[in-house]
Structure 1
Amino acid sequence: MIRENQKYLNRLQVFLDLMVILISFLIAYYIRFYQMDDGIHALTFQQNLRPILLSMPLYLIFYNIFDIYSTRRTKPLHVELSAIAKTNILCAIFIMVGLFIFKIVDYSRKSLVLFFIINTILTMSSRLVIRLILKKYRRKGYNLKHCLIIGATDSSALFIDKVKKNKHWGYNIVGIITSPFNHHKKFKGHPIIGNTIELEKILSEKAIDIVIIGVSGADLSELRHILQACEKSGVKTQIIPYYHKYIPAKPYMDDLDGLPVIDIRHVPLDNVFKNFFKRSFDIIFALVALIITTPVLLFAAIMTKLSSPGPIIYKQERVGLNRKNFNMYKFRSMRVQTTEEERDKWTTQNDPRKTKWGSFMRKTSIDELPQFFNVLKGDMSVVGPRPERPYFVDQFKETIPRYMIKHQVRPGITGWAQVCGYRGDTSIKKRIEHDLYYIENWTFSFDLKIIILTIFKGFINKNAY
């Protein structure tokens, strides 16, 4: 029943999306030619409608690519809204490029821009309304997904807690199945309605939409019988791995000639194409940045030379991709130090080694600009976890769990941790949490977001000493 409801809901959603596209066009057309009347009415309604009709299949293709039409029962709202925004941006680019390539000039550019803005707003609004309706509907006891949980374990308890916390999911826990040796009557407030030996009979008697298997490592011997009973009944089955608490990230399933292997940490940049795309963007961005900031680079070089004797560029050994050391470039902001001082000393707020010009560069991140040369060399990326000195890496890897994971990607000039405020003298643990989130959730749009945030709020660093 649930699958049938989802199928009808998806069909309704496709129809609504197409209607929203047409309504958005009509609103845009009305605003452009009746509210923004500039005396130009050379284009007909049909001429303006043509690009919109051509965009309809494109919208449906991208909505499917971004997984818009899958069940939204447990999908976070921000993920769906982000996919809608991405689809509209991509469709706008494709339509504009297509009109240019095929030299189609009989359309209003203003109405097209209005259409993309209005369509984005209306589509997001329709999704929000549907979510609110379904949420209200499920709270009243309709459209529920009836769940049977197997195993009175910590994993099962965690699942039950999340279901209670997220009532809008519409999960109704029918009962708990345990091993034959469990004599309790309840688990986490839900009745224990039988044991694994009786599973097949229970599935045939009760209307179950999904079976959640949360058995412990000690009960794995029963897993084969459980799966066979579930498959025989044709019920959808999901497994909560008993070792989930030891896996701190989203696991990724790989296939070795038919043998499933779980990679406990999926790194999107392991993909050759994605890595190549990011590297190409890094090179282009670094070249453009160096050209644009040439006057700043020259002025900073002169001021660094005048502020104190010593080299203009300061090279410091850092740990980078695959734990390999490299020399990171910065404008020298301190007086010349010994190798031992450079190796194991943090910069403090009133550090006497800093020059006045050096303090200003650190506060405004001007001292980081030479790192674009590191990007061109391939030592660094524009966006990524900030690299650290070998001395501190050796310390942190012993005291901070998962610290060394950051070296699975190129270090960056800026990063997710930095734009979230974790720069300078801030929590190393929080910094690593943000770095790991970036590594496991990398997308090109995520990089763009970090760059934009860096431009608007990341240069001035109150924690930079």
Structure 2
Amino acid sequence: MLKIFSHYFPSHVLQQVVFDALVLFMAVIFAVAVQVRGGAVDWRVIVPSALLFAIAMILLNSAMGLYRPAEGEWSTRTAIGRVLISIVVSIPVAFGVFLVLPWNYFASEAMQISVMLLLGLVLLMRAVINRHWATSMFAPRVLIIGTGADAVTVERSLGSPRRSGMEVVGFYAVEGEDSVDVDRGRVLDCKDLLQTVRQLRVNEVIVAVRERRGGVLPIRELLDCKVWGVRVLDLSSFFERVQGQVRIDSLKASWLIYGDGFRQGLARAFVKRCFDLAASSILLLAALPVMAVTALLIALEDGAPIFYRQERVGLGGRVFRVIKFRSMRRDAEKDGKPRWAVSGDDRVTRVGRVIRKLRIDELPQIFNVLKGEMSLVGPRPERPFFVDQLAQEIPFYAVRHCVKPGVTGWAQVRYQYGASVDDAVQKLQYDLYYVKNHTIVLDTLVLFETVRVVLTGEGAH
């Protein structure tokens, strides 16, 4: 894992991005060479612009989810969907890039088509490699300290080396643990931790033991490992790096207080506000036709009102009124009792089902962003009734209110839609990660991922 602008990127994914960018760069250079056929070419212009084109295309598709592993029951379908989305998005953008690059004096239509075909071939190749053979050239070897339930959770989180780019070499038992929940055949029969680390060429040690459960950590030996140059991680740091979340069940207040992150300075707030104003203004202009059609369809199906205003909790716990397109019947809460919206909710109108699936119902919140009540990216705002309930049941829930709520967020692109206390816990773990590490880079990544989620329908409700 590499930390870039406060966000963690898997090293094996970065290797894939660099490799694919170089392949596409060489493909563009080859297409240029074939096009000119020995004629005079200003390579001082072509080479840097070809490299810029390749990097832009690969980063765009990386943000669209092409480099995320597609595992589970729908893995093949998901992989195919991501390739198709990448091609559909990349081709128009690539043609647009052609218009701004200084290639007009020689770039014929045939060359542009050739480059588009090469781009599609690179994307298809990456999808196949991700599905079957993707590994890291420098996959770190990981030793897990502990053999209990936490060790099992860590192993499952890492998954296969193809998914995480990390190889688990085994488990190191510590004195005082009550049970062995992992595969006993992978528990190392040794007593000297540092010697084990040296023999197995371990790069990282993950401590999956909580002292309050009876396990006695080998503190001195862990220090020796760190001095030897081996990275040592506790559970909180591990989940932050690998899963992009701050886990509640392994979190201590001291980790939040003394750790880095959670910086909310005036400079950061100013930059984020400028980003919100610029991006939301562009989005509003682009979305006006869609919003006008949506308003007309809502009026035709169920009459007025077109918009739905509801109290939500925002920055610092202050209450504001969020604006959305109305997707439910007018009598959705006629008894006055707030209820979670659930998948397949019978209160949703026909138009509402469509605009929820495409996230169009969220577009009026752009006006909340322009007013300064919300940000484009941030934790989703909840209703006061549910905030009071969740704050009593979930530790650290109020931490999410130290930044402005967002139209979209890290939790929305990383976790499927849910409507329960358990789902709120899962989303909070992603929200805490965002609050701790938010930057313009992470905001941009979330916006790209939101486009992917909308196009694929992931998490639609």
TM-score normalised by length of structure 2:
0.56
Correspondence for 2:172 among 156, 172, 176: 176
Q: Match of 1:317? A: 311
Q: Quick one: higher RCO (CA 8 Å, sep 6+), 1 or 2?
A: 2
Return the alpha-carbon distance in structure 2 between the equivalents of residues 91 and 400 of structure 1: 46
Q: Quote how far apart the aligned CAs of 1:281 are.
A: 0.8
Residue 377 of structure 2 contacts residue 407 of structure 2 at CA under 8 Å; is this kept in 1?
yes
Q: Match of 2:447? A: 447
Residue 59 of structure 1 contacts residue 87 of structure 1 at CA under 8 Å; is this kept in 2?
no
Q: Secondary structure at the match of 1:284?
A: helix
Return the alpha-carbon distance in structure 2 between the equivalents of residues 172 and 350 of structure 1: 46
Return the alpha-carbon distance in structure 1 between the equivalents of residues 115 and 244 of structure 2: 40
Q: 1:89 to 1:445 in 2, by over 3 A?
A: farther
Q: Match of 2:251? A: none
Determine whether 1:106 maps to 2:101. Answer: no
Q: Quote how far apart the aligned CAs of 1:212 are.
A: 1.9
Identity %: 20
Q: Quote how far apart the aligned CAs of 1:150 are.
A: 4.8
Q: Match of 2:25? A: 21
| Number of matched pairs | 395
Q: Match of 2:100? A: 97
Residue 17 of structure 2 contacts residue 59 of structure 2 at CA under 8 Å; is this kept in 1?
no
1:161-184 deviations in whole A, cap 9, x for unaligned? 667x526568473773645999x9
Residue 176 of structure 2 contacts residue 216 of structure 2 at CA under 8 Å; is this kept in 1?
no
Q: 1:323 to 1:12 in 2, by over 3 A?
A: closer
Determine whether 1:262 maps to 2:265. Answer: no
Return the alpha-carbon distance in structure 2 between the equivalents of residues 117 and 202 of structure 1: 50
Residue 344 of structure 1 contacts residue 391 of structure 1 at CA under 8 Å; is this kept in 2?
no
1:121-147 deviations in whole A, cap 9, x for unaligned? 326626855995676x99xxxx99766
Residue 384 of structure 1 contacts residue 410 of structure 1 at CA under 8 Å; is this kept in 2?
yes
Which stretch shows the higher mean deviation, 323-332 or 287-296?
287-296
Return the alpha-carbon distance in structure 2 between the equivalents of residues 172 and 413 of structure 1: 35
Residue 210 of structure 1 contacts residue 237 of structure 1 at CA under 8 Å; is this kept in 2?
yes
Correspondence for 1:410 among 380, 405, 414: 405
Q: Match of 1:344? A: 337
Return the alpha-carbon distance in structure 1 between the equivalents of residues 93 and 387 of structure 2: 41
1:228 counterpart letter in structure 2: D
Matches for 1:212-223 after TM superposition, within 5 Å: 212-214=205-207, 216-218=209-211, 222-223=218-219
Q: Quote how far apart the aligned CAs of 1:96 are.
A: 4.4
Q: Match of 1:38? A: none
Q: Quote how far apart the aligned CAs of 1:324 are.
A: 1.5
Correspondence for 1:250 among 245, 248, 253: 245
Q: Secondary structure at the match of 1:344?
A: coil
Q: Quote how far apart the aligned CAs of 1:396 are.
A: 3.9
Q: 1:20 to 1:207 in 2, by over 3 A?
A: same
Q: Quote how far apart the aligned CAs of 1:325 are.
A: 0.9
Residue 157 of structure 1 contacts residue 188 of structure 1 at CA under 8 Å; is this kept in 2?
no
Q: Match of 1:125? A: 125
Q: Match of 2:321? A: 327
1:319-377 deviations in whole A, cap 9, x for unaligned? 2333221123467887799xx968635599788xxxxxx95765565987654433332
Q: Secondary structure at the match of 1:326?
A: strand
Correspondence for 2:371 among 374, 377, 380: 377
Q: Secondary structure at the match of 2:106?
A: coil
1:53 counterpart letter in structure 2: V
Return the alpha-carbon distance in structure 2 between the equivalents of residues 286 and 189 of structure 1: 58
Q: 1:402 to 1:201 in 2, by over 3 A?
A: closer
Aligned-residue RMSD, C-alpha: 6.3
Task: Please tell me whether Structure 1 or Structure 2 has the larger radius of gyration of its CA atoms.
Answer: 1
Return the alpha-carbon distance in structure 1 between the equivalents of residues 127 and 361 of structure 2: 46
Q: Secondary structure at the match of 2:311?
A: strand
Q: Match of 1:7? A: none
Matches for 1:176-325 after TM superposition, within 5 Å: 176=172, 178=174, 188-190=184-186, 192-195=188-191, 198-199=192-193, 206=199, 208-210=201-203, 212-214=205-207, 216-218=209-211, 222-228=218-224, 231=227, 234=228, 236-241=230-235, 250-251=245-246, 261-262=258-259, 272=269, 273-274=271-272, 276-290=274-288, 293-294=291-292, 315-325=309-319
Q: Secondary structure at the match of 2:245?
A: coil
Q: 1:434 to 1:113 in 2, by over 3 A?
A: farther
Residue 381 of structure 2 contacts residue 406 of structure 2 at CA under 8 Å; is this kept in 1?
yes
Q: Secondary structure at the match of 2:105?
A: coil
Q: 1:322 to 1:207 in 2, by over 3 A?
A: same
Q: 1:15 to 1:48 in 2, by over 3 A?
A: farther
Q: 1:235 to 1:446 in 2, by over 3 A?
A: closer
1:208 counterpart letter in structure 2: R
Return the alpha-carbon distance in structure 1 between the equivalents of residues 15 and 240 of structure 2: 40
Return the alpha-carbon distance in structure 2 between the equivalents of residues 60 and 362 of structure 1: 40
TM-score normalised by length of structure 1:
0.56
Residue 250 of structure 1 contacts residue 265 of structure 1 at CA under 8 Å; is this kept in 2?
no
Q: 1:146 to 1:58 in 2, by over 3 A?
A: same
2:169 counterpart letter in structure 1: I
Return the alpha-carbon distance in structure 2 between the equivalents of residues 455 and 199 of structure 1: 49
Return the alpha-carbon distance in structure 2 between the equivalents of residues 420 and 229 of structure 1: 35
